[in-house]
Structure 1
Amino acid sequence: MPRPSRATRAPQLPAFAIDRTLRAPEQVYRGLREAIVSLAIAPGTALSEGDVAEACSISRTPVREAFARLSEEQLLDVFPNLGTFVSLIDPQAIAEAITIRRLLEGEAAARAAAKADPELLREMSEILARHEQAVAAGDAVQAYACDEAFHHALFVTQKLSQMWQSVSRARTHLQRVHHLRISERGALGDALEQHRLVLAGIEAGTPEAARSAMAAHIDAHGRFLSRIADRKHSYIRAE
């Protein structure tokens, strides 16, 4: 990431309450992480431990711990003598995440198609029904929750927990691309239609069709980034 200027400092932070009966570092981490991946805090925004601590009415110590975790996830960049900034969306990291998800989720979809588990088919159909309602209502938050539940169901029902952990880590940066697509294109229903094709392949018992449909769904993130690459978007790191 090029060294940013101090002028990118945000005027204010999204507010989130701290429950004094629970560990503050975890709450700060989760609150900031959600704000970052949802683009409520834009890529390139400057963050300071002092500002976050003041906004949450807590000491800097739990904020420092949360910052360290977010830095490990490559969601924050630290520049000595300059400050801490929300990382820009990195096309190389996105390409790697897409590859990981395509391989693991494609395999999970293919395995599901080979077994045709009635419990999984019922659960995925119910998730799609809720997803359709969310899209019809224009509820982006619920639509994304259904999106994640659809993918998670493939792994939890088939007891593929280690694969899901890898997928979950890869989803982190792709979440920001997803929210950017929605804000730029209003593409709220795209994932729903793509999920329907994945489920159709599973229901038909055709592993390669399910694998291909899943790959096409995940590759949509890369196609979107390629389309806007020439615009030099302020959220995206220059390659």
Structure 2
Amino acid sequence: MSIPPLLTGMLPVNQQIFRLLRQDIVTARIPPGVLLSEKEISSRFAVSRQPVREAFIKLAEAGLVQILPQRGTLVVRISVSQVAEGSFIRQAVECAVARRLAAQISPGQLLTLEHNLQQQQLAAQNGQADVFLQLDDAFHQLLAHFAACTLAWQTIESIKATMDRVRFLSLDAVSPPELLIEQHAQIVTALQARDADASEVAMAAHLQEIGRSVLEVARHNQDWFIN
């Protein structure tokens, strides 16, 4: 079976399809209300229906779609309550990660974070929203990795798809990249000072941004949201 350029041999096909469809939904290329077809997606990626079906199940677990027997797989609207619950969990986990990292971060790790911030600034200046969001994720993943809390990031990644949809919609005006970069920089400054309290406060302030932005974004995109 030939695999189109979008797919590689690096990961199982179902995982790759899941990630690509997740990205399309998060970045609004596939809006709420669209019915995804196993047949159409399998044709798009030149694969059998089985890995597509498995990808749909993972998308449903991430809260992005609802599988409707005999009808298709529906891209669901964004749940404000689900965003709030996920934000609460993420803040609890990542604030603890920040406190832990403040006590042990190395000069080399700080340099890596600063390089990531520079890349974020370039992406923002070039209007590359997709790239910025990837670098944003990489920043938080690095924090967890440096704190030896890899499982913490895996937990966050499994619940944040709905939050990511809000993050993308808020980038234009509600929570622009420049604001988020400044918040990231404040986290790095606190870590550099090895100040656990300041690191936690900076992280909390950053992650509370999603709670503020979701209400504003929902007001401007009412058809995309449910309570």
Aligned-pair distance for 1:233?
A: 1.4
Report the more deviating stretch, 146-155 or 16-25: 16-25
Tell me how far apart the structure 1 counterparts of residues 148 and 61 of structure 2 sit (CA, whole Å).
28
Tell me how far apart the structure 1 counterparts of residues 89 and 11 of structure 2 sit (CA, whole Å).
34
Tell me how far apart the structure 2 counterparts of residues 27 and 116 of structure 1 sit (CA, whole Å).
33
Q: Is 1:58 matched with 2:47?
A: yes
Tell me how far apart the structure 2 counterparts of residues 206 and 26 of structure 1 sit (CA, whole Å).
39
Q: TM-score, normalised by structure 2?
A: 0.87
1:11 maps to none
Q: Is 1:226 matched with 2:192?
A: no
Specify every segment of 5 or more residues in structure 2 that has no aligned partner in the other structure, as ranges.
Answer: none
Cα RMSD of the aligned pairs, angstroms, is 2.4
Tell me how far apart the structure 2 counterparts of residues 111 and 87 of structure 1 sit (CA, whole Å).
37
Aligned-pair distance for 1:154?
A: 0.9
2:90 maps to 101
Contact 1:18–1:27 at 8 Å: present in 2 too?
yes
What one-letter code is carried by the residue in structure 2 that aligns with 1:198? I
Q: TM-score, normalised by structure 1?
A: 0.83
Tell me how far apart the structure 2 counterparts of residues 23 and 106 of structure 1 sit (CA, whole Å).
33
Tell me how far apart the structure 2 counterparts of residues 192 and 230 of structure 1 sit (CA, whole Å).
25
Stretches of 4+ moved more than 6 A in 1? none
Q: Is 1:91 matched with 2:49?
A: no
Q: Secondary structure at the match of 2:160?
A: helix
Identity between Structure 1 and Structure 2 (%):
30
Aligned-pair distance for 1:206?
A: 1.8
Contact 2:174–2:217 at 8 Å: present in 1 too?
no
Tell me how far apart the structure 1 counterparts of residues 120 and 99 of structure 2 sit (CA, whole Å).
22
Report the more deviating stretch, 185-194 or 226-235: 226-235
Aligned-pair distance for 1:225?
A: 1.3
Contact 1:18–1:56 at 8 Å: present in 2 too?
yes
Q: Secondary structure at the match of 1:234?
A: helix
Match of 1:215 among 177, 199, 204: 204
2:57 maps to 68
